[in-house]
């Protein structure tokens, strides 16, 4: 993140997390699943420090604390809750609209694909900048 920059690192980790999660939930081969799981977890966990950096560096100093608190403690936690909840609700074998956990997770990954463009287009590159020098 410090060497490559926030933006390219985020794009690589977002793409890796999305692609390997899709593979993981669409294959039944144990060997492929094992490696897809490792890579999905690797890239998925790697998103957390990236989001932490963005949450604090994206906003100007006067609202930095409040903004970071909202982003991390509200929306991020909401994502932790809503993501798995959506999978359970839509993928439930009895009542879910999709009725298949694997397809539901894959669909949520497909929904995320265009967000990589958002990162490329709008996320400011803050590598090497002091917090005081960032004026979003």
Partner 1 sequence: MSRRTFAVGIVVVLVVFAGLGFLVDRLNGDRLRPEGVAEDWLVAVGDTTRKGVRAESEERAAEIGPVELAQSLLDAAGDTDGDRAFTDLEVGKAATDSGAERVPFRLHIHEADDATDGVVVLERTGERWRVVGIDQRRAGERVPSEGGPPPSSAPNWVWLVGLAVGLVVTGLASLAVRLA
Binding residues for partner 1, rule: CB under 8 A, are: 28, 59-60, 63, 66-67, 70, 74-75, 78, 82, 86, 89-90, 92-100, 102-104, 106-107, 110-115, 117-118, 121-122, 136
User: How many CA atoms are closer than 13 Å to the CA of 98, on its beta-carbon side?
Assistant: 15
Question: Quick count: other Cβ atoms within 10 Å of Cβ 66?
Answer: 10
Alpha helices by DSSP H, listed for the chain, are 6-24, 30-57, 61-69, 77-91, 101-112, 115-122
- Cβ distance to partner 1 smaller for residue 69 or 129: 69
- Cβ distance to partner 1 smaller for residue 3 or 135: 135
- Cβ distance to partner 1 smaller for residue 56 or 112: 112
**Residue 132 Cα distances to 2, 6, 60, angstroms:** 17, 17, 8
- Cβ distance to partner 1 smaller for residue 49 or 83: 83
The distance of closest approach from Cβ of residue 14 to partner 1 in the complex, given in angstroms and rounded to an integer, is: 12
The distance of closest approach from Cβ of residue 122 to partner 1 in the complex, given in angstroms and rounded to an integer, is: 5
The distance of closest approach from Cβ of residue 91 to partner 1 in the complex, given in angstroms and rounded to an integer, is: 9
Picking from 121, 128, 120, the residue whose alpha carbon sits closest to that of residue 10 is 120
Q: For 43, list phi and psi in degrees, rounded to 5.
A: -70, -35
The distance of closest approach from Cβ of residue 3 to partner 1 in the complex, given in angstroms and rounded to an integer, is: 27
């Amino acid at each position: 993140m410090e060497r490559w920059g926030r933006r390219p690192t985020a794009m690589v980790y977002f793409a890796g997390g999305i692609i390997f999660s899709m593979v993981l939930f669409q294959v039944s081969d144990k060997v492929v699943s094992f490696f897809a799981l490792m890579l999905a977890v690797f890239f998925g966990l790697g998103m957390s420090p990236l989001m932490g950096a963005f949450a604090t560096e994206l906003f100007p100093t006067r609202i930095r604390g409040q903004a970071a608190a909202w982003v991390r403690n509200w929306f991020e936690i909401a994502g932790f809750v809503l993501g798995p909840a959506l999978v359970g609700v839509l993928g439930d074998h009895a009542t879910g609209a999709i009725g298949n956990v694997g397809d539901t997770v894959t669909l949520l990954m497909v929904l995320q694909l265009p967000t990589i463009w958002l990162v490329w287009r709008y996320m400011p590159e803050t590598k090497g900048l002091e917090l005081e020098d960032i004026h979003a």
